[in-house]
Amino acid sequence: MLNKIILIGRLVREPELRYTPSGVAVARFTIAVDRPFANRQGEREADFIDIVVWQKQAEVCTQYLGKGRLVAVEGRLQIRSYDDSQGVRRKAAEVVAEQVRFLDRPREGQAAAGAGSNDFALAESGYSEVNFSEDDIPF
């Protein structure tokens, strides 16, 4: 069996970083991925896909990524169930990232605090190992 997803898209908002009770970093963000065709009115459409990143890679993504940044995400699809605030059972689909690659540089004035040209290369240097347990999910 195979569960592998590769996406290229732009962040629609800043990543949100949290820590599990055991101290494991987990970040969430959403990317917009263009559809390869236009609708009947000739307008381009996009899918908005939730991404979950773990451990050191979560911290690096939170530090160096922001709204509008272009990324490639490689990971697996995860479907999870939860009860909403009204007690209704819901399902959520998200991609658990194994690797996030930064495909562009921050625009002028968009760089994260302390991020210089050398920091971009450091952030690219790879935190591809992601080990976690389903009990570590804080949301």
Q: Enumerate the domain spans of the chain.
A: 5-35+44-122
Which overall architecture, per CATH, does domain 5-35+44-122 show? Beta Barrel (2.40)
Per the document, the length of the chain is 139
How far does CA 113 lie from the centroid of its chain? 20
Q: What pLDDT is recorded for position 68?
A: 94
Token couple for 77: 């699809």
Q: 87 Cβ partners below 8 Å, 6+ apart?
A: none
Q: What pLDDT is recorded for position 38?
A: 80
Task: Output the CA–CA distances (angstroms, integers) from residue 35 to 6, 9, 82, 102, 131, in the order listed.
Answer: 14, 10, 29, 20, 31
Q: What pLDDT is recorded for position 111?
A: 52
Torsion of CA 49, 27, 92, 14, to 10 degrees: -50
Q: What pLDDT is recorded for position 69?
A: 96
Work out the angle at residue 20's Cα, subtended by the Cα atoms of residues 111 and 116, and round it to the nearest 5 degrees. 15
Q: What pLDDT is recorded for position 110?
A: 56
Query: Nearest-CA neighbor of 7 among 39, 29, 27?
Result: 29
Q: Which helix (H) or strand (E) holds 121?
A: helix 117-124
Q: What is the DSSP letter of 118?
A: H
Low-confidence ranges of the chain (pLDDT < 50): 113-134, 136, 138-139
Q: What pLDDT is recorded for position 55?
A: 96
